[in-house]
Structure 1
Amino acid sequence: MKNSWWILTGVLAVTGCGPSTGVDEESHVAVAALEAGATASVCAPRPYGTEVASTAATTEPTVYGVQGPLPVRVASDVPNALWPEMPITVYRPDDRASYPVLFYSHAYGGSDHTHVAPLLQRLASNGYNVVFVPYMNTGTRNSQYDTLWNGFVAAAKQYGSRFDLTRVGFIGHSFGGGATPEMARRAFADPTHNGLTSAWGSAGRFMFIMAPWFSFPNLKNPTATNDHYRDLPLDVKTVIQVYADDDTNDHLIAVNDIWNKLPPDLQEKGWQLVKSDGCEGQWLNAGHSTPAGYSSTPPGSWDNGHDLWAVARRIHALAAYALKGSGAVARAIAFPSTADALGLGNWKGCGGRAVVPMEASATTPILSACGGGGDATAQEYVFTYSAAAHCTWSDTGAPACR
């Protein structure tokens, strides 16, 4: 695993801590610098500091990532034949109009939709149907993927004309992030093989993939070279977002399983790296659970600055750009390149300084030295799931464990 990082240093940008002289010393220096109001690009100390549980500590975004004007109806009323005990939940504008559809694949074990309710509510209030399908923690990868897919199709059938299936986005986190390209492949590239009469997303389509776990396609005709996502339409706008202090999923999983398997001439794709930051003893931790927000109780307390600026804002902008024809402003936020577009708001303390911005690239995955090595002389921590363990977790067969 360590060797693979050094092999890739010539072709992958690596950013983050740099060499560490020890966790205790680094933590003390990091906290002191940030509480003094200095702008510092650092890895979060171990253990993390007290995380901000709401948006109160930072400014809020405008236009994209905000609560929209539409009232939202939430209903867990769609049965899934592959997991009858857990119905599918749909967040939708509370009227009878037709809206684009966003299909959300949750993290492993995150089958309770309330874990990401603020995000789903915010997206629905801006004019999107959002479908959340639970899948079980047991079974094969294929059965879990099939449960997701069957649920998406079941929701589309039940809601009929209220779902505009010509405008579709797939969103996923962790296990669901790894599943997202396969869900998109079934909908966009191989529809008739997967129970559809025609492809979804003919008028607009995207993928937004967060901290993905291993990705396992279920191909009708697998190729010897295992280029399993190369048949996606070239107009699928794609964003992969990873988190600098993710000690669960190796960023190289996103590179090897997804980024390198996409069509090489995909029209628009982007890579985003979100970093941790702190101010006056409070932290926005860019850990693995970032898309699910603050990991505590009660439900609904998961809505902090990173949830709004890094996640909701980027998904909303990508959806508006890909599905509703919004122009340069939406595109600049979905595929950021300028300092302003990369921004993640400002702290209300620390003299109002900017939250450490994300980094992004349209061509090169940006890895963090905070986890798994990178250009650091000593690892801050090791990943729970390394890229090298891909085949260990596969039950889909050859070639190359798909």
Structure 2
Amino acid sequence: MRMVDIIHAKRSGLELTDDQIQFFVDGVVSGDIPDYQTSALLMAIYFQGMTDQEQSSLTMKMMESGDHLDLSSIPGVKVDKHSTGGVGDKVSIPLAAVVAALGIPVPMISGRGLGHTGGTLDKLEAIPGYQVEISEQDFINQVTKDKCAIIGATGNIAPADKKIYALRDVTDTVDSIPLIAGSIMSKKIASGTDALIIDVKTGAGAFMKTLDDSRNLAKALVGIGKGVGMQCMAMITDMNQPLGNAVGNALEIKESIELLKNNGPHDLVELTTTIGGYMAVMGNVATTPEDGKQMCQRVIENGDALASFKKMVADQHGDATVVDNPDGVLPQAKYQIELPAKVSGVVSKIVADEIGIASMLLGGGRQKADDKLDYSVGIYLHHKIGDSISAGESLLTIYSNREKIDDIKDLLYDNIEISDSATAPTLIYETIE
């Protein structure tokens, strides 16, 4: 069997066999297939798609390419959450602490940024000392003790996906339903979790731009999960504007801490507690999602969730004083530059993906797989869609380590509109169970 024949088959729109998919996955893991051929097949999949059988086969072969975590020694129903990625989407960080504070174990294996989106691991690494790579036994011990840990996939969990994931980011093949589904579910099945909720983003800042595509991805993910006996559901949520106010690694950690101090932005709080409510039902501590949502709000208000986050950071070797003094611990940008509104009116449009690109161009994201991140940079929105603003008032603050940023200002002005009126976007569109 030759890799070039597999590329040709998929390029021609043919269905790949299980043996061909196995050959591809094995070759990626062993390094026998060079990156340029892997990239060629990813592009062919992007354009030709995959059948349900191919998609399922790719997922399972990637999952079987490495180890399968055994979390059975951790008491209780292990509940995880995954997002398909967006701009300002830091939900996983406070959510893990909130749900853990309810006594539900949350073994969360997360990823890095893709394209214009931020990655949970990148954000957590803005905390000095925080280790996202810990041993399997340390992971199990921490979830047993603290009820939560957020780590990256170990070298032995879905190693095929680890290589493919990095190449997707730099070959513009990120927004492919079979590749997204295979990537997410191979890691989640291998991670040994009992229940999973998937936040499927839709809109300008998401990889799925339309509600129909988002629904198709959600159904594919839930179908794969249920097919292997996992409790699984999906929620389709908005990404036409950034979530919360902060975009950028350190800025988003600070905003996550503000949420856990009961001072988070409304949309971020609403989504975190709503998803947490469903996780509370999955974890058998609430009878309805609404009851679970109220429980989540209580542990935020009484400080239990903040204490849970602080323990997790400390046990993963991070500087836990970040909770008490974020600005004194997190990296700080040299310049804070205001972007004033040119006219008065109502903010009617904030193109999420372009805001993410602006943060990436400042150094907060990767343009190449080996780019080093500047954790201190980013954008803080002072107004969201539906907010009134006067000419000269600051739309946002740009956190930068270079003084001249006319290119960033132009990009932001081009992608924020002020009109006479605006309709605020829907935050949560539907759930798929």
Asked if these proteins are the same fold (TM beyond 0.5), I'd say: no
Q: Return the TM-score normalized by structure 1.
A: 0.30
Q: Return the TM-score normalized by structure 2.
A: 0.28
Q: Which has the higher helix share?
A: 2
Tell which has more relative contact order, 1 or 2 (C-alpha 8 A, sep 6+): 1
Question: Which structure has the larger Rg?
Answer: 2
